[in-house]
A and B are shown apart, each in its own frame.
Chain A
Amino acid sequence: MYAYDKYDHAIVSARVAEFRDQVERRLSGALSEEEFRPLRLMNGLYLQLHAYMLRVAIPYGTLNSVQMKRLAHIARRYDKGYAHFTTRQNVQYNWPKLVEAPDILQELAEVEMHAIQTSGNCIRNTTTDQFAGATNEELEDPRPYAELIRQWSSFHPEFAFLPRKFKIAITAADKDRAAIRWHDIGLVLKQDAASNLGFEVVVGGGMGRTPVIGKTIRDFLPKDDLLSYLEAILRVYNAAGRRDNKYKARIKILVEETGVDIFTKQVEDEWTRTRNDGIDFPAEEEARIRAHFTPPPLEVLPAWSDLETISAKDPKFSSWLRNNTDSHKVSGHRIVTISLKPHGGIPGDATADQMDLVAELADSYSQSEIRVSHEQNLILPHVAERDLPALYKILNEAGLGTPNAGLLTDIIACPGLDYCALANARSIPITQAITNRFNDIQRLEDIGELKIKISGCINSCGHHHAGHIGILGVDRKGEELFQIMLGGSGDADASKGILLGRGFPADQIVGAIETVVGVYMDAREEGELFLHAVRRLGTQPFKEALYGNA
């Protein structure tokens, strides 16, 4: 993975010193809150219901074991013994003290991490496929491009005060695990007819109160032109994006209001004018960065014959193997998803002890590498098949072995009203109620792939628009109600969920989900997944089951 050079170290250290001075001036009263607020947000420090919240960037979701141990140490030393992995491959601490925030940033800088650009109207952490560099489904590892984008966008002076925040995601596989069509810019690595590498460029996706699926503005952009083209898009957006209304300030609104054809022409014109200005990376810089992503020295092994035998004797291990491991590009290895979704637990939360354990397991079994998925799980990307039984045993004993990846209880949920100052309703208790009800793995496997995503407000941090079942918490005269939508998807065939009707009180939402699942189970065809059944049936049978024919 990428390692800081002397410039990276100098920049991040200088930022820590600068923020330490700003905090001291705030505490002394030399800076007012009005003056200080944008400065703390530039360093990822929010104020939530109970305390400050620090959001730490995990570039494209890649961590090494040393970094994970440091995150655990920070949770223990400066917070309350846990951290929360987010839907943008970041990590959040819910209880840091302002006075200690500079010390936390110093601790992060020592392991080549920071919280820069995790807030504010700037280009945020570029996200990607959590299986990048390990999956046999990708054209090549997309992370070197994500790192190039990170370096280009970090402290980019022209894009420090955009109309609104800006999120980029990239994938190199047909199966989109990064929800790229729901981002301001989504990039799909492709090959043209002559086997040259390039990108499909998708613009104007986003969730929030106006959900929009991104539109392709270029079918194929040669890879060497990536940064100049991104710069052209950002320039058009920066100049023309609305600044009069924050709810209409995202690029998705600009694309919708301008029209995709005119917007595309504006980008192409800007690119024609600026593409030779030296924005694109020179080949030697690409090579320097790419060298950091050299695949680990995994031994090519034959498929481990004992795996099937062991699996046949242990149904729990068998479920975990089936649901929580994926094929690897190197024979004899698997990609392991560590579920942070224990039934009845809080999605994305991990204790400091669990984080330390994952770091140790990464050292023992996965080339010291860890990934964070936007679905709020952790990944060990390079595990030998022969190590899987021992790894599962350790994970299971630590509460990290729930075999539910991709199943109904692998729920994405925002922190909701239990933590978030913006939320209208609580997401986590709804998640817990659902996962407590659907806690039988055999039943979950029978239901099959079904992604539930829950947000506690219209800002959609829980990605409810992209849920096969989406749940949105709303406040109606002081009562928390939960609306259900069906048919959303974050995958390559992205789609927006369709609202079924009025919201349900908290104590009725589990029953409503049971009803929806029941309709699917009764109506599905052989092997038909939930999402496909909803697309075939439409929402009417589900509405009738939930609300009757009235």
Chain B
Amino acid sequence: MELDNHPCPPALGPGAQGLDVVVTSVASDAHTWNLIYLQLLLEELGHRVTNLGSCVPDQLMVDECRTRRPDLIVLSTVNGHGLNDGRRVIGQLRDCAELRTTPIVIGGKLGISGAEQGSHVGELVNAGFDAVFEDSAGIVGFHEFVRALPAARRALPAGGLR
């Protein structure tokens, strides 16, 4: 298999700024290919990515996100503890005034049995996530979610709205 060297078509329209995105795993998850893939994908779409890597302790994630004030926070986890880790850390993120309305999404393999497809979505949304993207099929929905974001952000005048 040769590497795909074709440049990606520009994903953002003229004048688009791109988003500041934090990509991160959760405290117990050591997997990183998912994070590397998401970083490349988001960068090709014209966004700027800070990749916090694997095994990110809750406090480090909260501190980094508060400092960076990103336009989007993407939690990606595939070790099966995503439901448990996700609903814990989202509370801490939402407790920060700076992050109360920041779009925060989670995706990956969120449970250990593989049979619970879709059953985590409601629980994680209720816990505070804006969207949940399960397994590899979720990437399509993620794409659409991200694509819908810049327009809304760009509509904001400089300095944002009250």
Partners in one complex: no
* A interface with B by C-beta (< 8 Å): none
* B interface with A by C-beta (< 8 Å): none
